[in-house]
Amino acid sequence: MARHRKGFGIHSPFVFELLNDVFFEKNHFYSYFEIEKNSASRSQEKTNKLLFRLANYFDCEKIMLIGENETVKKCLSLVNSKTNIYQDKKGYNNKLKDIKQIDLFYICSDKLNYINHLNIDICHENTVIVLEDIHKNIKNKNIWKNICQAKMFDLTVDIFSFGIVFIKNNFNKQNYTVAF
C-alpha cells in the first residue's frame, strides 16, 4: 500500500477522479452549513463533509446505516430529496429483506464484523461501503486487513478515520492509503 496525496502516484483513472472530485473538492456545497452545525469537532466536520460528497458524487438514494451514529445519519440524509436511509442498529441484516439494491453502506465501528455477512447480491457496480474507525483497535485493524486481502473487494481506500470499499468487477485488486 502506498500513501497518496491529491492523486500523485495514482494510476487508476477512477481513483484519481475520486480523489480530485470528491476527497479534495474545494467547492462549498449547499448542505455544509447543516453539517457544520451538527458536527462536534473540526475533525468530525471534515469527515462528515467527505461522506456527504461521496454519497452526492455517486448519487446515493438508498443508504444502509449499520449501527448507531445519528450525526452520520443526519449528514447522509442531506444528499438529496430522494435519499432513503435504512438503519439496522444491531447489524443482523433484518432490515434488508425487501430491499433490492443499496447504493451506500455505512458500517459503524462496533459493527465492522457485519462486513463478513454482507449480502453482495444487493450491491451494484457503484455501491460504496464505508467502514468507521478502521484503526480504532486491534480487532478493527484485523477486520480492515482481511478486507484488503479479500478477493471480493476490488478497491479499498484507507483514509485512517475510515475505510472505503468498492466492488468493481472489472478492476484489478488495489489498496490505497490516502493522506486526507
Q: What is the pLDDT of residue 4?
A: 47
Q: What is the pLDDT of residue 118?
A: 82
Provide the domain limits for residue 33. 2-8+20-178
Q: Edge to edge, what strands does the sheet with 128-132 contain? A: 2-4, 174-178, 155-158, 162-166, 128-132, 104-107, 62-66, 84-88
Would you write out the chain's pLDDT as a tens digit for each of its 180 residues?
Answer: 444 455 456 667 888 888 889 988 888 888 999 999 989 999 899 999 999 999 999 999 999 999 999 999 999 999 988 999 988 887 666 666 778 899 999 999 989 888 888 878 888 888 999 999 999 999 999 999 999 998 888 899 999 889 999 987 778 888 888 887
Q: What is the pLDDT of residue 60?
A: 94
Q: Does residue 47 lie in a domain region?
A: yes
Q: What is the pLDDT of residue 92?
A: 61
| Identity at 144, one-letter amino acid code | W
Asked whether the beta carbons of 99 and 77 are under 8 A apart, the reply is no
CATH code, domain carrying 126? 3.40.50.150
Q: What is the pLDDT of residue 95?
A: 61
* Overall domain count for the chain: 1
Q: Does residue 35 lie in a domain region?
A: yes
Q: Does residue 95 lie in a domain region?
A: yes
Q: Does residue 157 lie in a domain region?
A: yes
Q: Which three cell numbers stand for residue 15?
A: 481513483
H-state helical runs in 70-110: 70-77
Q: What is the pLDDT of residue 158?
A: 93
